[in-house]
Each structure stands twice: as structure tokens, then as C-alpha cells.
Amino acid sequence: MKFIDVSPRDGLQNEPMLIPTNEKEKLVKLLLLAGVRTIEVTAFVHPEKVPQMADASNVLKAVTSFENLEAIALVPNLKGYERAKEHLLSEVNWVSSATETFNQKNIGLTIDENFKQFESLVIQAKKDGIKTCFSIAVSFGCPYEGEVSEEQVLNLVKRAKDAGAERIGIADTIGIATPDQVERLMKSVLEIAGEIPVAIHLHDTRGLGSANAYAAYRVGVRIFETAVSGIGGCPFAPGAAGNLATEDLVYLFHRMNIDTGLDFEKLLEAADHAASLSTKNPLGRIRHVERKQ
């Protein structure tokens, strides 16, 4: 089982007040102390669109010397990749969308235009020794187009596999999924992906994040993208709330005697720090219960 904590990127990207680089560095360090090795540290996006990520280079410079860190950076286009590859990275996360409208709102390209750039990225990244993940946003529902067919998502999974993606991410960007949906779609995604690792990225907008994660686990998913304290939200998805809290899912697995390899108490410390950086009410539940005991 593998947890990819996205709190330094997805968790903070929507914050209106600029957070000092050293506070983001501290968050990464606390996650490492809790045993989280793979962390989506930042995003190389246009600073006018996502001001919080304007210090992407400085954040990576601050954390890439940390031992055992597998640093991931999100890149929305080839220009972002050119900036990202100047740093020590394990992987870049390339985001597409399952719907045309969300892709235009999020990236400013059609799905096909975006995918052509991804094909170029894979070739270059292999030369640079950086792994690539192809993530599919709004895989279970879109704030602009409503329901998303499984066929739309699976078609992109097939294309990403053929293009040479080394990991595939399926995202419930607006937290609309239900466990039965997750089981159906993720089972098909795993069948198509074959040997390629598959992750699920869940938002907890409607309180079903943990149930959806367990549904994914039941069909074979072993990589979970979460954020300590449940902070986060997408600037381009109206109404989207925070991510599934890392500590909530770890608590669930530990109660079921499923080993995550993470230190729960230290994870709570990371969650406390993440919550202190957010102006919103974090969605994580277990942190509040444990702190009262």
C-alpha cells in the first residue's frame, strides 16, 4: 500500500493568503517523519492562475535534500515541465480531464490538444529520468457537464497507457462518487492498466471519501492520494471541498488491521500543522476526535 500526500500542493493551492515557503517545507518534513515517502510537493502553474504555487522552485529547492523523499510536482503543460525538470524530482503529474469543459476551464486546451502535449512530455521525461503520471480529473462527475461516462475515462486510460504513462491517477475532483461507482470504474481501470500502477484521488465533499477509498481497495487499488487534515480544493471546480484526510483513511485501515506503514501519531502532528496553514475548516474528522481523548 502506498499513500501519496498531496497537501503541500492540492491542499494549499486554493488558499487566498500566501503561505511562507518555510511553512510548506515544514509540512513536507512532518509528513516524512510520519512515514509518508511520496509527496506531491508543488505545481508549476502560471502564478496569476494559482498564486499559492508561485514559489514552486523555492519549495523544491528546500525539500529535495530530505532523505527518502520521492518528490512529485504537478505540471499542466510542457512549459511547466521545463521549469520542473530543473529540480530533483521522482515524478511529474500531468492532469487531463474527463470532460472538454473542465479541461478548458482548468488548462485552456481541448482534451486532444492536452494529450498531444502529454505524448511529447513522456518522450522527454524518459530522457530526463523522471517518471510520469497521467491523472484524469472529474472522473466521476463534472461541475459543468454533470455525469461522466465510464467510457470517457477508460478511453483516456487506454491512451495514457499506449503513450507510456508510468502511473495513472483517477480523480473524484468534486467529491461526487459513490462506492458502487468507484468499484465499477476502478475495476475496469485496473484491468486496462495492467502492470501500470493506478492511484485514486478522492475529495470528501459529501463525506464519502473513506467509503470510496475502501471500495477502491476492495477491487485492488493500493495507491491513495490524500491530504493530511483534509485540506484542499480545486480553484477551477465550483463547490469542491477538501481532499480525503490521510489520517482518516489510515485510521480506517489500522482499525481493520491493514498495515499502512505510517505512524498515526506523527501523522496527526502533520495534520495539525496543515490545518494551521488553512483558512478553511479542514474536513478531517479523526484528528478532532483523537485530540479530545
Q: Confidence class of residue 282 from pLDDT cuts 50, 70 and 90?
A: confident
pLDDT of residue 240: 63
Residue 237 confidence (pLDDT) above 90: no
Q: Is the pLDDT of residue 203 over 90?
A: yes
Exposed e or buried b for every residue in 164-181, given b needs 16+ CB within 10 A?
A: bbbbbbbbbbbbbbebeb
Q: What's the pLDDT tens digit per position in 87-141?
A: 999 999 999 999 999 999 989 999 999 999 999 999 999 999 999 999 999 999 9
pLDDT in tens, 36-72: 999 999 999 999 999 999 999 999 999 988 999 999 9
Three-class SS of residue 116? helix
C-alpha cell at 97: 480531464
Residue 72 β-bridge partners: 40, 91
pLDDT of residue 290: 76
Q: Is 234 a catalytic residue?
A: yes
Strands 38-43 and 91-97: unpaired
Residues 106, 147: Cα–Cα separation, whole Å: 18
All structural domains of the chain: 2-292 (3.20.20.70)
Residue 236 pLDDT: 63
Rounded mean pLDDT of 184-196?
Answer: 98
**Residue 82 three-state SS:** helix
Please pick, among 234, 270, 277, 286, the residue that the annotation labels catalytic: 234
pLDDT of residue 185: 98
Average pLDDT over residues 142-156: 97
Does the pLDDT at position 10 exceed 90? Answer: yes
Nearest residue to 88 (alpha-carbon basis) of 104, 71, 76: 71
Q: Is the pLDDT of residue 293 over 80?
A: no
pLDDT confidence tier of residue 153, bands split at 50, 70 and 90: very high
* DSSP one-letter code for 52: G
Q: Are 152 and 112 within 8 A, CB to CB?
A: no
Whole-prediction pTM value?
Answer: 0.96
**Average pLDDT of the chain?**
95
The DSSP result for 192-217, as a single string, is: HHTTS-EEEEEB-TTS-HHHHHHHHH
Query: Does 292 score more than 70 pLDDT?
Result: no
Task: Report the 10 Å Cβ neighbour count for 159.
Answer: 17
Average pLDDT over residues 229-247: 82
